[in-house]
């Protein structure tokens, strides 16, 4: 029994001189040597990929990865902006429930907005100033330095304020300096300025 030769039509056709010439011309003229610059770029990428197994095994989707990352950042910013818009001035006034205020402050800080942290942070500060008594100058001075620091935002600023206030609280047990009434007054007035206004 004769085995069916799948290649027969092409073999027969190639025996036709005109068709054989066509195939040869097609092979040579349709092959397109890549430009030197392009070939050099491709070869660099190939060599890097071949020498780095992590790149070789990873799916080659750099554009997709970048797009996903951008989409995620945009979603985060949009969600924060949406939440800020929805909660309006409450967030900026710092009078939302503590957890929500801190969460918004944190998210807003990441998205590039400045929203104060919860009132608890500020209350801590006020209490501490009231309790610090003779040590009031150092408390308010250090804390206000942090409060006026524009490089800190949101929760980071709140944490920094708490840290400074805690340090000063520890110093209270070993008072080393005496503050003048004038300085205490001025710091207190500044402290009132920083307190969020209740609606």
Q: What residues make contact with another protein under the rule CB under 8 A?
A: 6-7, 9-10, 13, 16, 18-19, 22-23, 25-27, 29-35, 38-39, 41-43, 45-47, 49-51, 56-57, 60
Cβ proximity to another protein, 14 vs 76, nearer residue:
14
Query: Which 8-state DSSP code applies to residue 195?
Result: S
Rounded to a whole number of angstroms, the minimum distance from the CB of residue 42 to another protein is 5
Cβ proximity to another protein, 45 vs 78, nearer residue:
45
Provide the b/e sequence for 115-138 (b: ≥16 CB within 10 Å).
bbbbbebbebbbebbeebeebbbb
Rounded to a whole number of angstroms, the minimum distance from the CB of residue 107 to another protein is 33
HEC per residue, 93-147: HCCCCHHHHHHHHHHHHHHCCCCCCCHHHHHHHHHHHHHHHHHHHHHHHHHHHHH
Rounded to a whole number of angstroms, the minimum distance from the CB of residue 162 to another protein is 51
Are 111 and 80 in contact by the 8 Å Cβ rule? The answer is yes
DSSP strand E in 9-64: where? none
Cβ proximity to another protein, 51 vs 173, nearer residue:
51
The number of beta carbons lying within 10 Å of the beta carbon of residue 45 is 12
Cβ proximity to another protein, 42 vs 145, nearer residue:
42
Cβ proximity to another protein, 22 vs 120, nearer residue:
22
Rounded to a whole number of angstroms, the minimum distance from the CB of residue 22 to another protein is 6
Per-residue CA distances from 72 to 63, 77, 109, 141, 153 (Å): 14, 9, 16, 41, 22
Are 83 and 113 in contact by the 8 Å Cβ rule? The answer is no
Rounded to a whole number of angstroms, the minimum distance from the CB of residue 90 to another protein is 42
Cβ proximity to another protein, 33 vs 193, nearer residue:
33
Rounded to a whole number of angstroms, the minimum distance from the CB of residue 144 to another protein is 55
């Amino acid at each position: 029994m004769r085995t069916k030769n799948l290649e027969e039509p092409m073999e027969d056709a190639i025996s036709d001189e005109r068709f054989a010439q066509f195939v040869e011309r097609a092979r040579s003229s349709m092959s397109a040597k890549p430009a030197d610059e392009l070939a050099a770029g491709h070869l660099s990428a190939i060599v890097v990929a071949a020498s780095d197994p992590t790149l070789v095994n990873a799916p080659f989707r750099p554009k997709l990865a970048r797009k996903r990352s951008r989409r995620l950042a945009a979603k985060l910013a949009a969600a924060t902006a949406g939440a800020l818009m929805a909660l309006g001035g409450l967030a900026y006034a710092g009078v939302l429930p503590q957890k929500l205020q801190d969460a918004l402050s944190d998210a807003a800080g990441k998205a590039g907005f400045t929203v104060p942290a919860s009132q608890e942070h500020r209350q801590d500060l006020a209490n501490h100033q009231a309790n610090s008594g003779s040590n009031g100058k150092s408390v308010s001075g250090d804390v206000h330095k942090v409060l006026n620091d524009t490089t800190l935002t949101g929760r980071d600023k709140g944490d920094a304020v708490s840290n400074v206030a805690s340090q000063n609280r520890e110093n209270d047990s070993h008072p080393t300096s005496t503050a003048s009434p004038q300085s205490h007054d001025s710091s207190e007035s500044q402290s009132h300025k920083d307190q969020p206004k209740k609606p």
